[in-house]
Structure 1
Amino acid sequence: MNNISIVFIGLDTHKEFFEVAHELDGRDNRVLHDARISSAKSSVIKMARDFQSKYPQATLHFVYEAGPCGYWIYRLLTSLGHCCYVVAPSLLPKKPGEKVKTDRKDAMKLAHLLKMNDIPIIYVPEAEDEAVRDLSRARQTATNDLNHARCQLKGFLLRNNICYDDTANWSLKHLRWLNELILPHPAQHIVLQEMLNTINERMKPLARLVNELEHQVKQWCYYPVVKAIQAMRGIRFLIAASIIAELGDLRRFDNPRKLMKYLGLTPSEDSSGDKRRLEKISKCGNGRARRLLIEGAHSYKFPAKVSSEMQKRQEMLSKEVIDIAWQAQLRLCKRYQRLMHRSKHRNVVVTAIAREMIAYIWAISREVAIAPIDVKKRIARVPA
């Protein structure tokens, strides 16, 4: 026991309890199941202290699967001075004949895979970064709720053959027109008024969330990156803040190809022998950030130019950032038209543009000076 240097501890986490298993370093040691403990913080701290007292000369390495329990376990164990890793459940290796799955076996499997250094470790954001991400997602949820209510009202009007002649939907003029509508039946008027009340009620929390997001992002350590990537065409404040909130620190990617793969924007491949077959994009990464990029990629169908609004967004930015943004606009606008002339489907073209957009965003993030962080601490690896 005195020669033990590392103890690998697997945790199968649930809402009310954790299953704990451990395995010692060395070829002759096998994985052992310990116990089921409560999910309270005091129980987790006691479990870590018991392992530390049992193996005083060893380093404790904990591992658990990412899930609804969040990252508080990671932050608690790292604050105690131990190593902790969070893994992606979908990327864990599984044997074809393995038909029995229990919490106990999962904990033992995690401990053994951590010892074999054959486990997919994911990026864990800081508490402040996760808070900004939660605020950004709440804003997006409020936007979706508002759009859903608007679609219901437009469908109701379409069924009754009521059309708005102007083009500016949901403007003040459009809302006044909706309030002045007179329907043939009193019941229909009640339905219309209830839908209008729902839209008005959902606009208020959305406005509050947008204001709060603007306030919080300006105090965030990644605000210089959020401000810099707005030099890109199709990237305004809300999209820029949401992209950085979802992706976090872009410096952890060595090259933009890894970032494209992380977002699921690279095509899947099924090649064999001399035949190379590229299929649809993998969609294996962050779907929210991928959707925002595709939304911004639609703006490159127009000729390249710097509008007055874009000039305002580029104020106080460095020349290197502005040059990268202009180079991106020249290339992507030309590429958009070239792919369309080759009779490519519009969705394919927009996806290709979004894939290159994230490469330029990665390049811009390299030009921005932000507070230094310990990247190795965030993405710790198991020693070989």
Structure 2
Amino acid sequence: MHSENIAAYIGLDVHKETLAVAIAAPERLGEVRYYGTINNEAQAVRRLFQKLQGLYGNILSCYEAGPCGFGLYHQLTAMNIKCQVIAPSRIPKSPTDRIKNDHRDAISLARLLRAGELTPVWIPDLTHEAMRDLIRARAAAKRDSRVARQRILSMLLRTDKRYAGKHWTGKHRTWLANQSFSQPSQQIAFQHYCQSLEQIEDRILQLDQEISRLLPEWSLCNLVCQLQALKGVGQLTAITLVAELGDFSRFSSPKQLMAFLGLVPGEYSSGNSIRPRGITKVGNSELRRLLYEAAWSYRTPAKVGAWLIYYRPDSVTQYSKDIAWKAQQRLCSRYRSLTAKGKKSQVAITAVARELTGFMWDIALAAQSPFSQQKQN
């Protein structure tokens, strides 16, 4: 139950064109009723909530996170109306509930909001959301690049054209440029595939330049810099982690962050039977991929790299360097220990990625940012 003196709980089922609205009375067993459907337009929303405020006074509203983003949240908070954006994956659902429609969803949200059984997501400010969109545009371009490369390789395989060396090196690209086909239609198709890849790679380069240009102006630039003290964490990895996770202080412990990223082991136990499972893999799969890539850097013995020695002392604090060195010693030893016991390298890397997340959490809380306090060196 919510501690505030809430007079009504408003559940909103949000779609591109409409909003389904339900209202729950504040009493535990009070009435929950469907109010109706309105157009998903700023003026209609303003009129509705002005009316609800006049009827009930202090109200709390919620809706599921989804493709409509946080525009409704920002509009309601600007009207001094409390609003929560709910994580869809954490909404309790009955296995016997076989009927789904807008008004039932709105009623369910209002009832669960009153019971305090919903989990809100973290809401980025407008500047942070804009940087996150830029990072996601770059990630989308990288996915397009992988698809374009696969199209080229698939066509070469179909036409029995093989390259003996490593793909996508300078020599391989020169070899690609010299390929010719007996059929003009195939030559045209191959040239279009290659031109498409060039355009995508140009787009990635432009996005990288824009990210580097805008990074110094971002309020979390220092946090990005501090995370790069860790071995295997480059600028792009650090920016992506900060853009997607935002407020590291919302995680009360490193274990909570690990669980949020789906890096903790699952379990399926009953009675005296305990059955551990693999990691849960909940949350952002792109962040897990980046952490796996960073974790591969810890296969080799720990050593003080050029980054920790030569990087500007006013950019990376001594505290971050100390944590980075501690992380190297721990994680390199951890990888060797697990592989020596016969664990597969993928299992060892997953364990390293999980512990690396904990060191990131420590550095992030110590970094100077709008979300956390500066820890003294």
TM-score (norm 1): 0.89
Q: Would the aligned equivalents of 1:231 and 1:313 in 2 still touch at CA under 8 Å? A: no
1:120 is paired with a residue of what secondary structure? coil
Change in 2 beyond 3 A, CA 1:279/1:135? same
Give 1:259's aligned residue: 257
After TM superposition, list the pairs within 5 Å mapping 1:222-237 onto structure 2. 222-237=220-235
Q: Would the aligned equivalents of 1:143 and 1:206 in 2 still touch at CA under 8 Å? A: yes
Change in 2 beyond 3 A, CA 1:5/1:177? closer
Deviations 1:69-98 (A, max 9, x none): 111111111111111011122222222332
Give 1:98's aligned residue: 97
After TM superposition, list the pairs within 5 Å mapping 1:118-267 onto structure 2. 118-164=117-163, 166-167=165-166, 169-183=167-181, 186-267=184-265
Q: Percent identity?
A: 36
| Residue 318 (1) aligns with residue 317 (2) | yes
1:131 is paired with a residue of what secondary structure? helix
Report the residue type matching 2:44 in the other structure: S
After TM superposition, list the pairs within 5 Å mapping 1:1-384 onto structure 2. 5-27=6-28, 29-55=30-56, 58-164=57-163, 166-167=165-166, 169-183=167-181, 186-309=184-307, 311-312=309-310, 315=313, 316-372=315-371
Structure 2 unaligned blocks of 5 or more:
none
Report the residue type matching 2:305 in the other structure: S
Report the residue type matching 1:356 in the other structure: E
Change in 2 beyond 3 A, CA 1:154/1:306? farther
Structure 1 unaligned blocks of 5 or more:
375-384
Give 1:377's aligned residue: none
Change in 2 beyond 3 A, CA 1:182/1:31? closer
Q: Would the aligned equivalents of 1:12 and 1:64 in 2 still touch at CA under 8 Å? A: yes
For residues 27 and 193 of structure 2, the distance between their equivalents in structure 1, rounded to whole angstroms, comes to 67
| Comparing 64-73 and 179-188, the one that deviates more | 179-188
Could you say which structure has the greater relative contact order, defined with CA pairs below 8 angstroms and 6 or more residues apart? Answer: 1
For residues 179 and 309 of structure 2, the distance between their equivalents in structure 1, rounded to whole angstroms, comes to 41
1:22 is paired with a residue of what secondary structure? strand
| Comparing 28-37 and 326-335, the one that deviates more | 28-37
TM-score (norm 2): 0.91
Deviation at 1:125, TM superposition (A): 1.6
Report the residue type matching 2:102 in the other structure: D
Q: Would the aligned equivalents of 2:131 and 2:243 in 1 still touch at CA under 8 Å? A: yes
For residues 312 and 331 of structure 2, the distance between their equivalents in structure 1, rounded to whole angstroms, comes to 19
Q: Would the aligned equivalents of 1:21 and 1:32 in 2 still touch at CA under 8 Å? A: yes
For residues 174 and 308 of structure 2, the distance between their equivalents in structure 1, rounded to whole angstroms, comes to 32
